[in-house]
Amino acid sequence: MRIETKITLTLMKYPTHIRDAYTKILTLESIHKTRTAKENEEILKRIISIIQEASDEI
């Protein structure tokens, strides 16, 4: 089984906002690989804010 499938199945146990946050982080992380250092800082800040928003909803 692919790691993405395992992660998806595991995430199904959690509320929607956590799954959404994880999906957003994965998307930003894939963008992160092709950006400059300054852009990476902005992406990291966005990832941190996504995590904080998801934890606030718990």
pLDDT digits (tens, 9 = 90+) for 26-48: 888 777 677 777 777 887 788 88
Please compute the mean of the pLDDT values over residues 10-33 and round it to a whole number. Answer: 79
- What are the angstrom distances between the C-alpha of 16 and each of 1, 25, 30, 35, 51? 23, 14, 21, 29, 13
Question: Which candidate, 46, 12, 17, places its Cα nearest to that of 29?
Answer: 46
Residue tagged 């146990």 (tokens): 13
Full-model pTM? 0.55
Look at residue 58 in the predicted model and tell me its pLDDT. Answer: 60
Please compute the mean of the pLDDT values over residues 2-13 and round it to a whole number. Answer: 75
